[in-house]
Each structure stands twice: as C-alpha cells, then as structure tokens.
Amino acid sequence: MSRGRTVWMATGNRHKYGEARQVLSELGVDLRLLEVERVEVQADDPAEIAAFSLEQIAEAEDRPVVVEDAGLFIDRYAGFPGPYSSYVLRTLSLEGMLRLMEGVEDRAASFRSAVAFRDGDERRCFRGVVLGRIARRIRGTGGFGYDPIFIPDEGDGRTFGEMTGEEKNAISHRARVFRSLGEWLTSA
C-alpha cells in the first residue's frame, strides 16, 4: 500500500469522522465522508457490528471503505453499556450514567473501538482500546458522548472532555484503531 491513499468512512457521526480524519491525515491517508444509511446489528462486540454494517453498504462497492463502532465498557456492570453506548447516552444522559455510578467505588472502564475495512475482496478488522475510569462528575466541554466523564489511565487525571482534540487523539481508542489502519495502509 502507499501513502496518499483515499479511504471512505461510512458514518453519520461527524465527531467520529473528524477524529479519524485527523489521525489518518498524519499518516498520509485521505479520509472522506460517505454518508449512507447503515444497518447496525445488535451484538456484544464492536468488531462484529462494524463488520456487519460494512457488508451492508452497497454504495461503497467500488471504493475502499471503513466502518467504525465503539463503546464504553464499565467493569462494574459487566461491560454495560458497551456497544449500546449511544442508545444509553441518548436515553439516560451523562447525568443518568453518573447516577448509576453513585456509591460505586470500582469505576474502572474502557473505551473500545473496532474498524472494519473493505477494498474489493480484501477485508480487515482493527481494534483499539483505552483503559480508564468513570469520573464522579461531568468535567469539560470538549469532545462528545462520554468524553466529559471518562478519565483515561494514560492521561494526567483529566477527562477526555477536558482535553484538546490533539491531546485526546494521542491516546484515545479511536486514534489507536485508526492509527493501526493507517499504518497498515501505508506499509510497503
């Protein structure tokens, strides 16, 4: 594969697209947005969801395309909300998630991301994980989704919501998975 490659990302989430585009651009990969309706199967593994969704996108048959799925996995609740994270956030809100965590000492959690890639007959799956914990209150206004309540272990105690986009992209699950994809795409 060579530098300067163009890949299309099928998503309706412009935040995810922006983060992925930034990471891939650093590796010489041009990520473009493919806005299509996608079918999302219910499963416990983001990789399974991304792979299934990718196969449903007929509009992308003639170009390299990726689908990303991610979730927040809270250890105390056996990985809940996991791949149902966006639904739970819409239903409960950040405040509701924090109410669920009231009185809970074990606040360990992880963000997990999977990217399914298709180019003709070639299929690949990449994964990214960042370990951390759930904050006791909402902190920061940056990012999106659960960013204001997730404190990555590799950081300095701030939530993703308190970090700049560049700081978050240095350690996030999404940055890791797209960096893996970009390194594979640009390897000789």
Indicate which residues carry an active-site annotation. Answer: 69
Whether a cis peptide bond, with omega within 30° of 0, leads into 152 is no
> Which run of H or E residues covers position 93?
helix 85-100
* Helix %, strand %, coil % of the chain (to 5): 40, 25, 35
For 93, the token pair is 């809100």
CB neighbour list of residue 42: distance below 8 Å, 6 or more residues apart: 49, 83, 84
Tokens representing 26 are 């650093």
132-142 burial, b for 16+ CB within 10 Å, e for fewer?
bbbbeebbeeb
